[in-house]
Amino acid sequence: MFCGMFSQIDASVAELKQGKRVAYRVELTDDIYVSVTTPFRCVDIRRFFYPRGQRDMRATRQGIALKLSEWVQMADIIETINQNHVFDN
Residues whose CB is less than 8 angstroms from the CB of residue 2 and which lie 6 or more positions away in sequence, other chains included: 28, 34
What are the distances in angstroms from CA 65 to CA 19, 28, 43, 85? 19, 15, 6, 27
Distance CA 16, CA 88 (A): 36
pLDDT tens figures, 42-51: 999 999 999 9
In terms of pTM, does the model score above 0.75?
yes
pLDDT tens figures, 27-86: 998 899 999 999 999 999 999 999 999 999 899 999 999 999 999 999 889 888 888 876
Domains in the chain and their CATH numbers? 3-84 (2.30.31.10)
